[in-house]
Amino acid sequence: MTMTLLPSTTSTTPVMAVVPRAPTMYGTTATTEAKQWREFKRHDPVVFYGGTNVTAAELFPKSNEKIHHIIATEEHMKASISSSMLMGEADDWWTTIVSTRGIPRDRYIGPQFNDEERAV
């Protein structure tokens, strides 16, 4: 919600009103998404550049999932938040996957959605 200053016609004191923020995709607000992203970044997540280093490739999803668990990231936001930590070759790969197939929704959409909602 945002606070909006409303002009007062009968008084010199301004009136404050609570104006609800329009929900974004999946019923969350942009504010909620921004808060979860900032909270994720505060935990100093691993940045993955791609390459053939198996240890780095295994560390990236494990460490991100640990942070998501700690901060209770909403399921549908995990992919977009984690993918922001991909750089270089890894980011190029992710961009290709999303542009050709879309986000792998079956993995990143929570159990609260039924099969019809997943297909959208």
Q: pLDDT tens for residues 64-109?
A: 999 999 999 988 889 889 999 999 999 999 999 888 877 665 554 4
pLDDT one-digit tens code per residue, 36-62:
889 999 999 999 999 998 998 999 999
Apex 73 CA angle, 55 and 59, nearest 5:
5
Who's near 99: CB < 8 A, 6+ residues apart? none
pLDDT at 87: 93
pLDDT digits (tens, 9 = 90+) for 56-65: 899 999 999 9
What pLDDT, on a 0 to 100 scale, did the predictor assign at position 120? 46
Indicate the domain borders of the chain: 28-119
For residue 118, what pLDDT is reported?
47
Q: Is the dihedral of CA 54, 55, 57, 58 positive or negative?
A: positive
The answer for residues whose C-beta is within 8 angstroms of residue 36's C-beta and 6 or more apart is: 71, 73, 74, 77, 81
CA distances from 12 to 5, 7, 8 (A): 13, 9, 7
SS (H, E, C) 98-111: HHHHCCCHHHHCCC
Q: What is the pLDDT of residue 91?
A: 93
Return the pLDDT at 59.
Answer: 92
